[in-house]
Amino acid sequence: MTSRIETNFEGLVISLVIALLLLLGTCANFAFTQEEQTTSTISIKITSHVTGQQVPVGELTISGTSTDNNITECTVYADWNDQKPFQKALATGPGGVNDYSTWKFTYAQNYHLITNGTNNLTSKLSCLSNPMNLTKWNSIDVIGEVSLTIQKNNFTSGNQPTSFEGQTPTTIGNNTENITDESQINTSLSNAPDNNNTSRTMIPEDNPTAAVPNNKTGNSIIDFFKGMFGS
């Protein structure tokens, strides 16, 4: 009699354990399904740049989109080659500083620069939710190229034209002027001051229209002899 009761008790315990395991499994599956459905409603994507794109080494700014807005409690982060901690991105959505519908992040010296070779860039959207937070990731691999950096620097610096380009440098006195027209050169030279004299007296050879000095005294006899023998 006692043996039968013990057997029935053991069977009851086993049945309860099995039922409890089934219940726990069902609850876990339901919670996972609910989380999966909720997580699928959020998303994030890097729109600039794309996987495989060659970029200059050094600083690089990426940008992207997400399902966040100025009402939902979400934040976008970024990292380089899984180097933690994640860095907070800048919200650029129309809703203001909390609107990560569009965003950007710059890889700079204060976190990590783009290096030569493959760089894994990851963006993360983290949203507050019950019973647990929701997270989505999106990653790209860009190729850092030193040659592109050199080309970019050369393009930025460029060859600036000098102030004499397309002009004729002409020295007038102690000053050098840039003359672009032949008539300007002639005018500038004719108006140039004489380095040896502060003033210049025009002589008849220089100016045909200059008046001849009058040497007459008013006395006819004296003027007659001056005319014959010269002044």
Give pLDDT, residue 95: 95
Same domain for 97 and 31?
no
Q: What is the pLDDT of residues 187-197, one digit of tens each?
A: 444 554 544 44
Number of folded domains in the chain? 2
* Claim to verify: residue 51 and residue 29 sit in the same structural domain: no
Is the dihedral angle over the CA atoms 18, 21, 26, 27 positive or is it negative?
positive
Same domain, 78 and 118: yes
Q: Are residues 32 and 75 in the same domain?
A: no
Residue numbers of the domain that contains 21 = 1-40
Same domain, 97 and 121: yes
CA-wise closest residue to 80 among 50, 115, 131? 115
25 part of a folded domain: yes
Please indicate, yes or no, if residue 163 is contained in any of the structural domains.
Answer: no
**182 belongs to a structural domain:** no
Q: Which residue has the tokens 């089934």?
A: 22
Q: Which CATH number does the domain housing residue 100 bear?
A: 2.60.40.650
Instruction: Give the torsion through C-alpha atoms of 15, 17, 18, 19, to 10 deg.
Output: 80
Bridge pairing between strands 168-172 and 134-145: unpaired
Assigned domain for 135 exists: yes
| Dist. CA 37–CA 27, nearest whole Å | 15
Query: Domain ends where: 157, 188, 207?
Result: 157
| Single residue among 157, 185, 214 that ends a domain in this structure | 157
DSSP state of 156: H
- Please tell me whether residues 113 and 81 are part of one structural domain: yes
Model pLDDT, residue 142:
98
The pLDDT of residue 85? 96
Asked whether residue 227 is domain-assigned, the answer is no
Q: Using an 8 Å Cβ cutoff, are 77 and 89 in contact?
A: yes
In a domain, 61, yes or no: yes
Which pLDDT does position 67 carry in this prediction? 97
What pLDDT, in 10s, does the model give residues 39-72?
569 999 999 999 999 999 999 999 999 999 999 9
29 and 56 in one domain?
no
* 222 within domain boundaries: no
Mean pLDDT by 10 residues, the chain (231 residues): 65 79 68 50 97 97 97 97 97 97 98 98 95 94 93 65 43 44 47 47 46 60 67 55
